[in-house]
C-alpha cells in the first residue's frame, strides 16, 4: 500500500498503532528483563510469533502482543513480578482485579497512565485496567490420549463460555474462576510428569495442541532487535494457528476502526459498557412483538439483565 493511498483516517490509525507498539515494546523489554533475571522461560505466540518470523518485529497494522508460558513458568513469573514490579506497571488478572474478565489472556502486564479503547475489546470495557498491555497466556500440559484430551478441552471451553456469558451481564463469578484455575493447574502438573507431553492453549478460541518436542528447546529469534524466543518447530505451530502462515503475513491494510481512543498520559479515562441496557431494550421489544405466553419469560430475562446491570453501575460508578 503506497503512502499516498492511505486516507487521513487511516493515517491517524497508523500513527496511533505506532505509538501503541512503542509502549508495548517498552513493556516487553521490562518483561524480558524480569524473565532473564529469574531464568523464566517464555515464547512468542499467535500473531506475535508470526510477525517475529516474517518481519523480525511488529506488523505495522496490528496492536496484539501475545506471550506464552508453561504453567510452572507462569506461576514463577507472577511470584517474582509481584516483588519486582515497578510503579509504572500493573499486573491484571482475575486474582488482582475483581472486575477482570478471563477471556483474552490469563494475565495482562500493562502500563499505567495509558488508556486504550479498541474495537476488539469493547465488550470487556468494565475491566479496571484500560491501558496498553502485553497478553500473557498459559499453555498447560494435557493428556497425550486424544480422547481424554478432547474431553478435557470440551469441558474447559464449556466453563470458559459460561464465564464469558456471566461477564457479559457483569456477573464476575470469582469462585468458579478459582475452581477452574485450580482444576486446570492440577491437571497440568499431573500431565507434566508423563513422557508424551502435549500443550494446549487455555483460551476460549480454538485450542492448539503442540507436542513437547515441537515446543522445546525454544528457538532464539530477534524481535525489534531484542533477542527473544519462539517454539522450536515454529513452522508446525504457525500452520496450526494460521494455515498457510506465509500468506497470513502479507496483511498490509489498516482497519480504520481498530483503535477507538488512545491516551498515553492519562489513566482516568474510564468507560462503562451499557451493553446490559441494550440487551434489556432488545428483549423488551421482542416480548412486545411476540405478545404471547413466551413473552413473559423474555420479559423476566430482560428484567433480570436490567437489574444486574443497574447494580453494577451503582456499585462501580465512573
For residues 250 and 161, the model is more confident at: 161
Q: Is residue 269 part of a domain?
A: no
Cβ atoms of 52 and 221 within 8 Å: the answer is yes
Look-up of cell digits 515446543: 215
Average pLDDT, the chain: 75
Domain that holds residue 296: 275-315
Q: Is residue 270 part of a domain?
A: no
The pLDDT-based confidence of 4 (bands split at 50, 70, 90) is very low
Residues 202 and 91 in one domain: yes
Residues 250 and 298 in one domain: no
Lowest mean pLDDT among 36-40, 187-191, 213-217: 187-191
Cell for 231? 517454539
Residue 105's CB: how many other CB atoms inside 10 A?
Answer: 21
- Bridge partners for 275 per DSSP: none
Q: So what's the pLDDT on residue 52?
A: 93
Lowest mean pLDDT among 73-82, 155-164, 203-212, 288-297: 288-297
Angle between the 275-290 and 293-315 helix axes, to the nearest 10 degrees?
170
Angle between the 146-168 and 174-191 helix axes, to the nearest 10 degrees?
160
* Mean pLDDT value of segment 230-253: 76
DSSP for residue 94: T
Whether residue 292 has pLDDT greater than 70: no
Residue 135's CB: how many other CB atoms inside 10 A?
Answer: 20
Residues 85 and 221 in one domain: yes
Q: Which of 221, 243, 263 is the last residue of a domain?
A: 263
Whether residue 202 has pLDDT greater than 60: no
Q: So what's the pLDDT on residue 82?
A: 84
For residues 198 and 96, the model is more confident at: 96
Look-up of cell digits 497508523: 14
Length in residues, the chain? 318
Residues 132 and 168 in one domain: yes
Report the alpha-carbon angle 200-206-212, nearest 5: 20
Q: Is residue 199 part of a domain?
A: yes
Residues 178 and 292 in one domain: no
Lowest mean pLDDT among 19-28, 57-66, 273-282, 308-317: 308-317
Residues 128 and 165 in one domain: yes
Residues 6+ apart with CB under 8 A from 264: 19, 23, 113, 114
The pLDDT-based confidence of 7 (bands split at 50, 70, 90) is very low
Residues 251 and 116 in one domain: yes
Q: With pLDDT > 70 as the criterion, what percentage of the chain qualifies?
A: 62
Residues 297 and 257 in one domain: no
Measuring CA to CA, how many Å separate 214 from each of 197, 210, 251?
10, 6, 26
Residues 6+ apart with CB under 8 A from 292: none
Residues 21 and 114 in one domain: yes
Whether residue 120 has pLDDT greater than 70: no
Cβ atoms of 160 and 177 within 8 Å: the answer is no
The pLDDT-based confidence of 212 (bands split at 50, 70, 90) is confident
Number of structural domains found in the chain: 2
* Mean pLDDT value of segment 195-219: 71
Whether residue 61 has pLDDT greater than 50: yes
Cell for 283? 428483549
The pLDDT-based confidence of 163 (bands split at 50, 70, 90) is confident
Cis amide linkage into residue 232, ω under 30° from 0: no
The C-alpha atoms of residue 265 and residue 23 are separated, in whole angstroms, by 12
- Nearest of 218, 197, 177 to residue 69 by alpha carbon: 218
Residue 232, classed as helix, strand or coil, is coil
DSSP for residue 139: E
The C-alpha atoms of residue 219 and residue 66 are separated, in whole angstroms, by 17
- Bridge partners for 69 per DSSP: 138
Q: What is the CA radius of gyration of the chain?
A: 21
Residues 243 and 306 in one domain: no
Amino acid at each position: 500500500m503506497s503512502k499516498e493511498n492511505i486516507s487521513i483516517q487511516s493515517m491517524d490509525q497508523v500513527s496511533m498503532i505506532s505509538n501503541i507498539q512503542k509502549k508495548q515494546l517498552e513493556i516487553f523489554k521490562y518483561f524480558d528483563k524480569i524473565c532473564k533475571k529469574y531464568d523464566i522461560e517464555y515464547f512468542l505466540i499467535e500473531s506475535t510469533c508470526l510477525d517475529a518470523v516474517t518481519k523480525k518485529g511488529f506488523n505495522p497494522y496490528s496492536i496484539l502482543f501475545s506471550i506464552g508460558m508453561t504453567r510452572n513458568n507462569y506461576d514463577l513469573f507472577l511470584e517474582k513480578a509481584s516483588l519486582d514490579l515497578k510503579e509504572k506497571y500493573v499486573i491484571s488478572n482475575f486474582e488482582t482485579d475483581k472486575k477482570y474478565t478471563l477471556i483474552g489472556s490469563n494475565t495482562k502486564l500493562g502500563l499505567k497512565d495509558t488508556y486504550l479503547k479498541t474495537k476488539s475489546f469493547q465488550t470487556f470495557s468494565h475491566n479496571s485496567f484500560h491501558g496498553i498491555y502485553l497478553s500473557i497466556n498459559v499453555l498447560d500440559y494435557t493428556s497425550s490420549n486424544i480422547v481424554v484430551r478432547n474431553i478435557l478441552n470440551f469441558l474447559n471451553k464449556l466453563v470458559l463460555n459460561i464465564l464469558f456469558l456471566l461477564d457479559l451481564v457483569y456477573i464476575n463469578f470469582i469462585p468458579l474462576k478459582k475452581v477452574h484455575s485450580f482444576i486446570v493447574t492440577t491437571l497440568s502438573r499431573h500431565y507434566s510428569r508423563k513422557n508424551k507431553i502435549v500443550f494446549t492453549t487455555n483460551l476460549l478460541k480454538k485450542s492448539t495442541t503442540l507436542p513437547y518436542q515441537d515446543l522445546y528447546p525454544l528457538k532464539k529469534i530477534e524481535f525489534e532487535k531484542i533477542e527473544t524466543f519462539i517454539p522450536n518447530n515454529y513452522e508446525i505451530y504457525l500452520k496450526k494457528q494460521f494455515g498457510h502462515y506465509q500468506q497470513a503475513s502479507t496483511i498490509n491494510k489498516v482497519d480504520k476502526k481498530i483503535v477507538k481512543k488512545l491516551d498515553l498520559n492519562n489513566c482516568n479515562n474510564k468507560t462503562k459498557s451499557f451493553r446490559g441496557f441494550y440487551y434489556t431494550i432488545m428483549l423488551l421489544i421482542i416480548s412486545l412483538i411476540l405478545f404471547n405466553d413466551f413473552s413473559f419469560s423474555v420479559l423476566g430475562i430482560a428484567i433480570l439483565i436490567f437489574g444486574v446491570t443497574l447494580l453494577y453501575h451503582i456499585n462501580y460508578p465512573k
